[in-house]
Amino acid sequence: MPDDYFQPRREQPNLEEVLQQVGRKWRDFKPGSLWVLLVLVTLALLWSCWFTVQPEETGIVQRFGKVVRTATPGLHFKWPYGIEAVVLVPTARVLKEEFGFRTTAAPAGQRTQYTANQAHKGESLMLSGDLNVIDVQWIIQYRIEDPIRFLFQVRDTRKTIRDITEAVMRRVVGNRIGSDVLTVGRVALSKEAKEEIQKILDTYETGVRLVTVELQDVTPPDTVKPAFNEVNEARQDRERTINQAQEQANREIPKARGVALQSIRNAEGYALERVNRANGETNRFQAILAQYHGAPEVTRKRLYLEAMSGFLPEVKGIYIVDSAQKALVPWLQMESGAKVAAEGRQQ
């Protein structure tokens, strides 16, 4: 039995020694010692008229078996033994139930002893929704909110809590696939089990409030652990490959989108440039046309001179060909002044 569990403790006077003394006195009874017997009985009754409730406990006072009141921590008085009795319930403690394993308290300075043998496998071996056998070890922690209901509403409260917890955990595990229970579904499973267990405990009016339901160790049975490990490794390889592919996709797709967006922006810029240039040429032509209509001769000569000034600097010489002559006659010397001066200095 776990150390965190308790048996309701009845606060009774230590009458064993008193009765032993009374028995010895009765065997040695003499008419003159009757007053001694009366004194001992009186002391025993007075000793049973008070009781102490510890800080973590609540006292339930029963008079001929009927609950008449509760007692808070401290020193209290009651009717003598045989009329009123007290049951002490640790309402301020967090109690614990273990499934699939047991822990035993160790002396101070040593670690708690953990045992999980075949005797506890009946609690922890469960069948999942995909017909896989799973070894589920878990604990529940709870507090006693209503000590009267805890003591008298259910015949064996501890056994009731354990049976309810085990039944709910088997149903919750049976509604899930094995891989979910073994990996990512443990938190959701604990939460669902806690809600279901608490609902049933409230229906039975046990006076218990769950603090937590926590899965300790969830593994496949020992006989299939090697196969399960291989399957698990394969799944991990698959997840790793998927993650690598996703990483590459996250890297390449934005890059391709950036290149495509850059090409679109370049095309839009080139189109805008061509349109603006065409508009400029059109405006320029229209301006020249307006000038030409105003002064055709002047405009024609200006255009001719501008055109000639544009290509004449690149021309080295102009030749006029006369049909009556057989040789070419140079008409103008078009070399630049710097080149003519350089040739003159050489001569």
What CATH number is given for 95-220 in this structure? Answer: 3.30.479.30
- pLDDT at position 22: 56
Residue 34 CA to residue 62 CA, distance in Å, equals 33
CB 216 within 8 A of CB 101: yes
Local mean pLDDT, 10-residue blocks, the chain (347 residues): 57 55 58 64 75 91 90 88 88 92 74 73 87 90 94 92 95 90 88 95 94 90 78 86 92 91 92 91 84 80 79 68 61 51 49
DSSP letter string, 29-92: --GGGHHHHHHHHHHHHHHTTEEEE-TT-EEEEEETTEEEEEE-SEEEE-PPTTTEEEEEE-TT
Show the tokens assigned to 265. 């922006």
- pLDDT at position 34: 66
The C-alpha angle 49, 50, 52, rounded to 5 degrees, equals 155
- pLDDT at position 220: 83
Q: Model-level pTM?
A: 0.59
Residue 126 CA to residue 105 CA, distance in Å, equals 28
Domain locations in the chain as residue ranges:
9-89, 95-220, 223-314
DSSP letter string, 83-150: TEEEEEE-TTS-EEEEES-EEE---TTSPPEEE--GGGHHHHEEE-TTS-EEEEEEEEEEEES-HHHH
14 CB neighbour count, 10 Å cutoff? 10
